[in-house]
Copies of this chain bind each other. A is one copy, B any other.
Amino acid sequence: MTDTNSAPYVVGIDLGGTNARAVLARRDGSILGEVSHPSESAGPAEGTFDVLARVVAEVIAEQGVKREEVAGIGVGLPGIITPQNHCIWSPNFPHWRDVPIKEMLDSRTSLPSFFLNDARCATLGELHFGAGRGVGSMVFVGLGTGIGGGFVINGKLLLGRNGSVGEIAHHTVDPSGPQCGCGNFGCWEVFCGRDRIVRRAMAKLQLGTESTLLTATGGRDLSPRAIAEAANDGDALAKEVMDEVGYYVGVGVANLINMLNPERVVIGGGVAQAGELLFGPIRRTVRARAVPFQAMGCEIVPAQLGSDAGVQGAVVLVLDRLGEHVAPGAA
């Protein structure tokens, strides 16, 4: 047995446009400690990889663990990652051009690293430690600035030629809908992404509708999470927004159920905090739009890991790539 196979610890990293967050975990997924630093996304790739090396070094040192006790590093990041471990596109790192990500991290840490798109990473996290435990087929929908996704069939996360199976944001749900940043018209993300949710609430506030959102923020700094929370506190305007968002989330979720027949659809992101005020309209829309033989026995549930899904998934990624079979549903 090599060190890699017997080393008791794993590092999981969630690399975002704002922060790089690293956890040290045991092979069973239990988290021992974490470190976070700004990810320096505005600069060249080298700076960001120096940050990654630093969070790895710090999270190991803080727990008094030796480098040779770490089996590997898993990293989830927003972008398209080829099987050759090049990141060919990332919305959050404007200076990255076909970056050899594995090479750049391995050379800085002398540990084997493994990379995966952040939404697929969260899918692995929810599958093994969260709302997807015990299921063989699952669709993950992460509602954030955009919409991330991941498809699991027969216990396996689908990747495809560029690790980009499960990119659900830009499927058209209304061909005559508003234009998306990608150039297409009526992408799912245009109707359910952060901007749209905030703008719907703003438009209603500007019509003079009473709302706690106005009192609390003056209408500024609105976030999907704040709107979801206001809806749960009984705010009528916020509930209306959740209803509209839920309808469009439902149209896309019905599409995924119709095509993939999952056992479970797991929906995460700040807006999922709205609970039944969001999931009610989602389920109603799915009942109206999904083919019965595909929807039969499929549950639509909120994600359970919140912002930990990414780092938890990054831990699963390492164990999986090192050939340690992680059974679906194993906690």
Binding site for B on A (CB under 8 A): 80, 88-89, 136-137, 149, 153-154, 158-162, 164-168, 170-176, 182-185, 251, 254-255, 258-263, 288-291, 293-294
Q: Quick one: copies of this chain in the complex?
A: 2
Partner of A167, one of B158, B261, B262, B288: B261
Name 16 A/B residue pairs within 8 A (Cβ), A-sorted: A88-B293, A89-B293, A153-B158, A153-B159, A160-B260, A160-B261, A160-B262, A165-B260, A167-B258, A170-B294, A171-B259, A173-B175, A174-B176, A183-B288, A184-B291, A185-B289
Partner of A258, one of B170, B254, B293: B170
The binding surface of chain A is classed by DSSP as loop
Give the complex CA separation of A159 and B153 in angstroms: 8
13 extra interface residue pairs, beta carbon distance < 8 Å, beyond A167-B259, A167-B294, A184-B254 = A137-B160, A137-B161, A149-B259, A162-B293, A165-B259, A166-B259, A170-B291, A171-B255, A172-B289, A173-B175, A182-B291, A183-B288, A185-B289
Is the CB–CB distance between B89 and A184 below 8 Å? Answer: no
Among residues of B, the one whose C-beta sits closest to the C-beta of A263 is B161
- 8 tightest A-B contacts by CB? A171-B255, A164-B261, A184-B289, A89-B293, A170-B258, A170-B291, A160-B261, A80-B293
A94 to B: closest C-beta gap in Å: 15
With a cutoff of 8 Å between Cβ atoms, the chain B residues found around residue A182 in the complex are: 291
Is the CB–CB distance between A258 and B171 below 8 Å? Answer: yes
